[in-house]
Structure 1
């Protein structure tokens, strides 16, 4: 009996010892944490880790025969002649094919000083992405009177930079004094989406003139578009038969508001102010014309 009691007391002591030790540990105050050395910590972009060091440079350069093979790997397997037809077909079906485009940029009626007139400004091209045949035509007049100005241009156009073409060709005036001009110019898209068309003309009489046009579309809604436009004409000498004086011949500033019923068809209204300057203004007054004119316009813009 005494042996049984002693054994029971010993077992109870063994079971209670870990529990007491556990309660003793919770009662003990925690040791203070070691101070953190913030200066030693990195400040990389991920988790403030230190930025990785750049990799080692190449110890040995590539062998001399590297890159000495054909410029296209397929040529080494199938031969250049066999692959040429495949490359031509790829270019033909992925952008390098002729396209026809035509646009009536301005096709309008103008009202000024109680008289109604008309104006057209058409252009288009036929060709691929880098070389094209480009044609242009402009003209204006007053209803019931003879045609005042009209011209046709036939140009070869070649891409010289992204969004820019160099153009060269011939211009024929078909109203007023018959005049043929050689033409060189550039046409393209300037920063901030300004469409620019600049050309230099040399007539068969040796007269040198130039014209710069610029316009930009300011989209108000998906269909309503405001288009400011400017045009500057210049001449290197007086040309009385064309009504042009040396220097700045004419400045035109206008704005047109159009609504796209379809992307390809948009009626518009607007206002345009023009000034003849210098010798051109004197020649206009001598003919009984006002060198300054305000036009209220209405027309359509279309393309296909």
Structure 2
């Protein structure tokens, strides 16, 4: 036994030495001495990111640079972001990725075609059906067949089949009267006032009213003036048929009768228009043809400017013209007179509003000459106090 152990020992030692020589990865490499490498120190390696970690289970790989002279190498390059990644299947890195830096989170990476609207804000887009006209004859909509002949074979009103045509006709007449043909009546006292000026103290009234429906009405108007001592200078009354021709305008036609204590009474045919002009101007314009053949015209316009809910400032303008001279009425041809006034009223109620104001009147042309001939003044300015009411 002893001889056997002595004979095997040299073999075991030789095998261990051979194994140690095979495990040395630097075997056969020229390793310069420390004294030779001292003049050219190598750069300090970066700290080991695995320092302090338990690496007992990891299998170390042989250093491919072991035994190489690395003294002339530049400083260590930044860490490779792909270190440890399997790059064997990657394409040539020389080709630049066209989508580098793009947000590809919404892209389908399974080989489907890229969405051309990816990254666009589509929140305001309507995702409903296309907006096409509703007409059945418009291209893009399915055709619609006409209704069957049986659908039009019955009475015009289906209720006639249930309640009878005669009963429903009476009901429809009642519906029109109560809802679509309402009769109204109104009286408007636009001005009833006293005026004070150099030409004397005077009174004046200007009223109108109507009765009828929304389209057809009977309209009446009355104006007059005189001295405060009781003497009437002149008055007129109009009876008119009025028909609405637009939502804001009425066409009026009728007769006018003038009354003068010191002059001839005159009858006129009247054709006029009355309504609401743009910017809320109330306009009343009419032409008058007398039985004597005299043609005259008058235009009135007024506007309510609300200062408060109850306090209202009203400018008012009036102009009169004549196609010929009328000496007995002291009216000359052309523009005979103009009038401008400003009234401030307070609505105690909507239907009752006293006012104060000032009014200026000027006679023009031959009319002014007639007034001067009898000793009057063509200009007249007066302070007025009055009342506006309606019911």
Normalised by the length of structure 1, the TM-score is 0.80
- Whole-angstrom CA distance in 1 between matches of 2:118 and 2:103: 17
What aligned pairs does 1:46-61 form with structure 2 within 5 A after superposition?
47-49=123-125, 53-55=130-132, 56-60=140-144
Q: Per-residue deviation at 1:43?
A: 6.8
Contact 1:43 1:50 in 2 (8 A): no
Moved more, 52-61 or 284-293: 52-61
Query: Does residue 1:197 correspond to 2:281, yes or no?
Result: no
Of Structure 1 and Structure 2, the greater strand share is in: 1
**Cα deviations by residue, 1:108-131 (Å, 9 ceiling, x for unpaired):** 000110621111001111222221
What aligned pairs does 1:293-304 form with structure 2 within 5 A after superposition?
293-304=380-391
SS at match of 1:94: helix
Structure 1 residues 178, 80: CA separation in 2 closer, same or farther (over 3 Å shift)? Answer: same
Larger Rg: 2
**Cα deviations by residue, 1:56-111 (Å, 9 ceiling, x for unpaired):** 33534645968787665545665554322212211222252322211110000001
What aligned pairs does 1:88-167 form with structure 2 within 5 A after superposition?
88-94=173-179, 96-113=181-198, 115-144=200-229, 146-167=231-252
SS at match of 2:366: helix
Gap regions ≥5 residues in structure 1: 1-30
- Whole-angstrom CA distance in 1 between matches of 2:353 and 2:161: 54
What aligned pairs does 1:126-275 form with structure 2 within 5 A after superposition?
126-144=211-229, 146-175=231-260, 176-275=263-362
Contact 1:42 1:48 in 2 (8 A): no
Structure 1 residues 54, 120: CA separation in 2 closer, same or farther (over 3 Å shift)? Answer: same
* Residue of structure 1 in register with 2:24 after alignment: none
Contact 2:192 2:205 in 1 (8 A): yes
Normalised by the length of structure 2, the TM-score is 0.63
- Whole-angstrom CA distance in 1 between matches of 2:157 and 2:298: 46
Structure 1 residues 270, 48: CA separation in 2 closer, same or farther (over 3 Å shift)? Answer: same
Q: Per-residue deviation at 1:172?
A: 0.6
Of Structure 1 and Structure 2, the greater helix share is in: 1
Moved more, 262-271 or 141-150: 141-150
- Whole-angstrom CA distance in 2 between matches of 1:98 and 1:130: 10
**Cα deviations by residue, 1:138-185 (Å, 9 ceiling, x for unpaired):** 011222363222101111111211122111111111123210001111
Contact 1:42 1:49 in 2 (8 A): no
- Whole-angstrom CA distance in 2 between matches of 1:38 and 1:224: 66
What aligned pairs does 1:4-23 form with structure 2 within 5 A after superposition?
none
* Residue of structure 2 in register with 1:84 after alignment: 169
- Whole-angstrom CA distance in 1 between matches of 2:285 and 2:120: 58
- Whole-angstrom CA distance in 1 between matches of 2:236 and 2:372: 24
Moved more, 174-183 or 34-43: 34-43
Structure 1 residues 40, 81: CA separation in 2 closer, same or farther (over 3 Å shift)? Answer: farther
Gap regions ≥5 residues in structure 2: 1-100, 107-114, 133-139
Contact 2:199 2:380 in 1 (8 A): no
* Residue of structure 1 in register with 2:103 after alignment: 33
SS at match of 1:290: coil
- Whole-angstrom CA distance in 2 between matches of 1:50 and 1:42: 14
